[in-house]
Chain A
Amino acid sequence: MNSIWLALMSGSVLFAAFHGTMAAVLHSALQAAEAAVLLAIHLAGIMSLWLGMMKIAEKAGMVELIARVASPVLGFLFPGIPRRHPALGAVVMTLAANLLGMGNAATPLGINAMRALQQLNPQPQRPSPDMCTLTVLCAAGFTLVPATMIAVRASAGSANPAVILIPTIIVGLTVTLIVVVADRVCRLLLADRRWS
């Protein structure tokens, strides 16, 4: 992550230096900083709403209930979470929100799940393998129906906006499968001494 970010920042400025776009880069950097704060404020509202709801669900034992129902499947993907642990419920809700393509509305749920997983993490400076699995699954972003894309196509005047449905699901499933396998390989390779 450090090198990717460094490459993006320095690469952009270096290019701008040779192509006379320095003014545009300056403008966009300031604009991005401002947009990030606005997005954060926007997120704060949704986040508080969800975290409030999640607190009710937690106190009512709802999260554990969901965790119990889903634990057979999740036991395979997240072997580090004890069975019937409330973190499982938070993980299920995150994955469900991602499957339904809820976009920014899924973020608070994901953050909630990450916080639950962090409490199980023996080394809080490093993500646990389960945290990595959840992150890459959400980053793969498989959705059952690409609703946003279909809407954008429709508004661009497509004759058949939903034609992308089947190809998108095929590609999305493949990506998720590859990510799950790669994640599992990384777990096995790095599970010993240096990382765990």
Chain B
Amino acid sequence: MAGELCSQLADWLFPLLLAAIPLFGRYRRVAVYDAFVEGAGAGVSTVVRIMPCLLAMMTAAYMLRASGALAVFVDLAGPLFSSWGVPPELLPLVLLRPLSGSGSLGLVTEIFHTYGPDSLLGVMASVLVGSTDTTLYVIAVYLGSVGIRHTRYAAAVGLLGDAAGFIGTMLVCRYFFS
């Protein structure tokens, strides 16, 4: 219900903004078409600037998946995490989540397929992906868009947030669903 409402809201919000902004501009006596064209011209140059950052992050994420390193890591670290009450099946998702949105959605779909979306594992995967974002990707794109490569403390703070999201997901899901 709530999800439907929100996707409805998003469906409406965009077109409404596309009409409301030019209307408001006209009300303020802006040459709306000229202003639009002027602004849109900057779109391509911005994308050209973020493209190398996209490429760097996506290549790293794809290579990590293809190398099988995730699977080996799960084999090695799985027992340790199991002893802390963390299902090892979630580990690849935790590692890939900060890097790749489509990659982590793919992993979630695999978990749903194998264990079912309403299993504890399925719910944990859902909450983990729903409550965190593609941290490293966002940092690379946002800072890259203004030509900054030095990230100061942003990456550390972002990854701390991801770790908190992981631990929080485990605790909250155990409280709600088991």
- Which of A36, A50, A124, A161 has the most chain B CB atoms closer than 10 A to its own CB? A36
Q: Select the residue from A4, A43, A115, A182 with max chain B CB neighbours within 10 A.
A: A4
Neighbouring A residues of B127 by C-beta, 8 Å: 164, 167-168, 171
Choose one: B13, B63, B118, B176; the contact of A12 (CB below 8 Å): B63
Question: A140 near B24 (CB under 8 angstroms)?
Answer: no
> Across the interface, do B142 and A167 meet the contact criterion of CB distance under 8 Å?
no
Encode B14-54 as 1/0 by CB contact (under 8 A) with A. Answer: 10011001101101101010011111111110111011001
Would A100 and B54 count as touching, CB distance under 8 A? no
Q: How far is the CA of A111 from the CA of B61 in the complex (A)?
A: 22
Contact between chains at A158 and B164 (CB < 8 Å): no
> For residues 48 through 96 of chain B, which have their beta carbon under 8 Å from a beta carbon of chain A?
48, 50-51, 54-69, 72
The interface residues of chain B lying within 8 Å CB-to-CB of A29 are 59, 62-63, 66
B166 CB to nearest chain A CB (Å): 9
Q: Is the CB of A139 within 8 A of B135?
A: yes
Footprint of A on B, CB under 8 Å? 1-3, 5-7, 9-10, 13-14, 17-18, 21-22, 24-25, 27-28, 30, 32, 35-44, 46-48, 50-51, 54-69, 72, 99, 101, 105, 108-109, 112-113, 116-118, 122-123, 126-136, 138-143, 145-158, 160-162, 164-165, 168-169, 172-173, 176-177
Chain A residues within 8 Å of B, Cβ to Cβ: 1, 4-5, 8-9, 11-13, 15-16, 19, 21, 24-25, 27-29, 31-33, 35-37, 39-41, 43-45, 47-62, 100-103, 105, 107-108, 110-111, 114-115, 117-118, 124-127, 131-132, 134-136, 138-154, 156-172, 174-176, 178-179, 182-183, 186, 190, 195
Question: Could you write out 19 A-B pairs with CB less than 8 Å apart?
Answer: A1-B149, A28-B62, A36-B59, A41-B47, A47-B43, A47-B47, A52-B38, A56-B24, A102-B10, A114-B143, A126-B152, A127-B148, A135-B139, A151-B7, A153-B117, A158-B118, A167-B131, A171-B165, A171-B169
